[in-house]
Structure 1
């Protein structure tokens, strides 16, 4: 379904945006929130877990666009606390993860938590509108290749092995680690994650300290050995 067809059919969907970057929320609102054009009405925004639960409970939207990494416990915590709304017999709230991360553990985590899909922030406005309406209909929606993570995870009866070293890192530190290992410069990482270069440097220092590594070359080898790249 395209933006035009959604409006032609007279369909409307009420959406809450949950992301800790105000500029990103503003961009999404500008891209998809023109109700007469897209059929999407943004009825609330939130920047952390507590705000998200409060706004979602108060507005009861059809769809929540949910970032994976949020202050207060992340998207998985929002899903946990909103489980009764997802399970409602009438007018259930459905969640679509919208994240910069394309890491398998992030995708699997929110899908296990109850999200109906997962798309990355490289998605176009038209495709995001289409995804929102599909999730409203109860469909599962994924960016290319991410569906494979979910299929592999749910096809396996074995729990993934625990990596104590990786568990020492926060979700944001894992994102930075992955981008460093892929060869991104600090400025590129800052732009992708909507944070400052200084913050990137702080995360890298924390990762090196926690993993007892000396430089980004060792970090890249460490990440590659664990297939995190």
Structure 2
């Protein structure tokens, strides 16, 4: 992206601001972005009203900006400005709550510089972004970032997949029969089929092959097959 864009960074930590500034300057996709700092939500409103911005980055890693204040800010302005939340929180309910406030993206503060630059470039271009590392956390414990599945296309439904549904789908992906799963989880075969149907419907998986591909993409397999 070659245009000059003004990005507002809301953080109470100077090291976060200067680190972010350095990252954006060192990637071609964000080299022309101007980073403006605000140390509070109140100051952010002032910058938005007086200077104008093209995108907003919010640091809600601890200690720092109050997440609840940031969500209130998001509810107020997210329809006018794309907001990328950079957070230490990976709990599904927090991620879901943030997206319900119409934010454009959610990135973990532990993300590598390349992911940070990519996330900023995407939200500035009007696209959504979800840290790939969050997808296994949302749909069950995993070990690798997703492949073909677009995280944004599954996050809403994935958050609502229950642990028991994940347990059943994982075993199906590994090739277990309904009878074997029932024995392993101490369920009836009818219950296994019910959990399979519910979980697959939430994730839009139509067949066993779809379940296997999804399991591979979100890291349910410890090793590649």
Structure 1 equivalent of residue 120 of structure 2:
132
User: Among residues 7, 12, 15, which one is paired with 1:15 in the alignment?
Assistant: 7
Structure 2 equivalent of residue 28 of structure 1:
20
1:74 aligns with 2:79: no
Do the aligned partners of 1:19 and 1:47 also contact (CA within 8 Å) in 2? yes
Distance in 2 (CA, whole Å) between partners of 1:123 and 1:69 is: 12
- Moved beyond 6 Å, runs of 4+: 34-37, 70-73
Distance in 1 (CA, whole Å) between partners of 2:159 and 2:88 is: 23
Distance in 1 (CA, whole Å) between partners of 2:74 and 2:25 is: 23
Do the aligned partners of 1:118 and 1:141 also contact (CA within 8 Å) in 2? yes
Q: Deviations over 1:30-64 (max 9, x none)?
A: 2214698722211x212222222222333331111
User: Aligned in 2, Cα 1:84/1:122: closer, same or farther, shift over 3 Å?
Assistant: closer
Do the aligned partners of 1:67 and 1:99 also contact (CA within 8 Å) in 2? yes
Structure 2 equivalent of residue 121 of structure 1:
109
Q: Secondary structure at the match of 1:38?
A: coil
Instruction: Indicate the structure (1 or 2) with the bigger Cα radius of gyration.
Output: 2
Distance in 2 (CA, whole Å) between partners of 1:17 and 1:73 is: 11
TM-superposed deviation, 1:83:
4.1
Do the aligned partners of 2:11 and 2:64 also contact (CA within 8 Å) in 1? no
Distance in 2 (CA, whole Å) between partners of 1:145 and 1:72 is: 22
Distance in 1 (CA, whole Å) between partners of 2:65 and 2:113 is: 28
Structure 1 vs Structure 2 CA RMSD? 3.0
User: Aligned in 2, Cα 1:116/1:62: closer, same or farther, shift over 3 Å?
Assistant: same
Structure 2 equivalent of residue 222 of structure 1:
none
Do the aligned partners of 1:35 and 1:41 also contact (CA within 8 Å) in 2? no
Distance in 1 (CA, whole Å) between partners of 2:46 and 2:62 is: 15
Q: Secondary structure at the match of 1:93?
A: coil
Stretches of structure 2 that go unaligned for 5 or more consecutive residues are: 139-154, 162-225
Structure 1 equivalent of residue 83 of structure 2:
95
User: Among residues 98, 101, 105, which one is paired with 1:110 in the alignment?
Assistant: 98
TM-superposed deviation, 1:11:
2.8
Distance in 2 (CA, whole Å) between partners of 1:49 and 1:153 is: 31
Equivalent pairs counted in the alignment come to: 143
TM-superposed deviation, 1:147:
4.5
Distance in 1 (CA, whole Å) between partners of 2:7 and 2:27 is: 11
TM-superposed deviation, 1:80:
2.6
Do the aligned partners of 1:75 and 1:110 also contact (CA within 8 Å) in 2? no
TM-superposed deviation, 1:136:
1.9
TM-score, normalisation: structure 2: 0.53
